[in-house]
Amino acid sequence: MARPKKFRRVEFFPEATYFVPWGKPKCEIDEIVLNVEELEAMRLKDVHELNQEECAEKMQVSRQTFQNIIDSARKKVVSALIEGKAIRISGGHYTTSMCKYKCLDCANVYEIKYKQDRFTCPACGSEKVLCSKKADFCIKWCKGED
Phi, psi of 120 (to 5 degrees): -110, 150
Q: Taking the domains of the chain in order of start, what are their residue ranges?
A: 8-94, 97-142
Give the whole-angstrom CA distance, residue 31 versus residue 35. Answer: 13
- CATH 2.20.28 holds for 97-142: yes
Note the pLDDT of residue 18: 93
Yes or no: say if 112 and 101 are a contact pair by the CB < 8 Å rule: yes
HEC per residue, 28-92: HCCEEEECHHHHHHHHHHHHCCCCHHHHHHHHCCCHHHHHHHHHHHHHHHHHHHHHCCEEEECCC
Tens-digit pLDDT string for the chain (146 aa): 777 788 898 988 888 999 999 988 878 899 999 999 999 999 999 999 999 999 999 999 999 999 999 999 999 999 999 999 999 999 998 887 767 778 889 988 877 765 555 568 888 988 888 776 554 444 444 444 43
pLDDT of residue 141: 47
